[in-house]
Chain A
Amino acid sequence: MPGRIEQRLAERSIVLPAAMRAMANYVPYTITGAHAWVAGQGPFLDGKLHYNGRLGENVTIEDGRACARIVGLNILAQVKAACGGDLDKVVRCVKLGGFVNATADFTQHPEIINGASELMIEVFGEAGRHARFAVGAPNLPMGTSVEIDAIFEIRV
């Protein structure tokens, strides 16, 4: 029987990508006590990179937000794995750390990272509201436009 959150995802036609493996010598998530720490995720769908490029240079605000949403989907895929497949174990989204590949004079980082923040609220409702930071990076691994890490509280 699908859980409450799985139903929400189905209602909204949200399909989670396969959880990515770590790209180097780290793990995609750890669990300490009741916290799941999710490693920085990129915008992958079906193992393929979406949205390369730099905000303020060759990526629009709309595409940047769409990119952040895909990054959010990858975070959810890792959280699901951390919960043993049951997203109903999520107590809340605690924190997102958002990095935007941006030019030196770009200033709309919050609008970009909203693509992920809004996804969390869409999926978890009030429990999706989180603290966060949103900052600019001069480049990101593989040239992606957005990288986000996360902390979730889960029932263990």
Chain B
Amino acid sequence: MAGKIDARLKELGIVLPPAPTPAANYVPWVVSQGLAFIAGQIPMQDGKPGFVGKLGREFTIEQGQAAARVCALNILAQLKAACGGDLDKVARCAKVGAFVNCTPEFSDQPQVVNGASDLFVSVFGEAGKHARFAVGASSLPRGVAVEIDAVFELKA
């Protein structure tokens, strides 16, 4: 039987990607004291880094939002694994930390990262609203445009 959140994903036409394996010597998530800490996710698509380039140089804000959304889908895939496959165990999205690979002059990081924030709110509703930061990075792993990590509270 599909859970409430799985049903919501289906309604939205969202298919979660397979949870990406970490690029290096770390794990994709840790559950500690009721909190799921999701490692920084990049816009991996079909096992390859997508959206390689910078905001303010190669990518428009709309493309940056699309990259942020792919990061968020990967976060949800990791979160689902952290919940043993049951996203109904999520109590809320607590915090999103977002890094935008951009030129020194670029200042629309919040609009870019909304691509991820909007997804969490459309999937979890009120429980998807979170605190966050959205900052510029001078470079990111593999040259991708966006990297996002997150903390979720799980139900006891």
B109: min CB distance to chain A, Å: 13
Q: Within the assembled complex, what's the spacing in Å between the Cα atoms of A131 and B37?
A: 7
Q: A117-B26, A130-B27 are in contact. Are A136 and B40 (CB under 8 A)?
A: no
A31: min CB distance to chain B, Å: 12
Say yes or no: is A135 at the interface (Cβ < 8 Å to chain B): yes
Residue in chain A with minimal CB distance to B142: A107
Chain A positions within 8 Å of B147 at CB level: 133, 135
**Centre residue among B26, B30, B141 by max chain A CB count within 10 A:** B26
Our pick among B28, B32, B37, B40 for the contact of A135 (Cβ within 8 Å) is B40
Say yes or no: is B61 at the interface (Cβ < 8 Å to chain A): no
Residue-wise interface mask of A (98-118) relative to B, using a CB-CB cutoff of 8 A (1 in contact, 0 not): 001011111111110110011
Q: Are B23 and A110 in contact (CB under 8 A)?
A: yes
Task: Report the interface size class on chain A.
Answer: 35 or more
Our pick among B30, B99, B141 for the contact of A108 (Cβ within 8 Å) is B141
Q: Within the assembled complex, what's the spacing in Å between the Cα atoms of A102 and B112?
A: 22
Q: Chain B interface (Cβ within 8 Å of chain A)?
A: 23-30, 32-33, 37-40, 54, 97, 99, 101, 104, 137-143, 147, 149
5 contacts between A and B (CB under 8 A): A34-B32, A131-B26, A134-B40, A135-B99, A136-B137
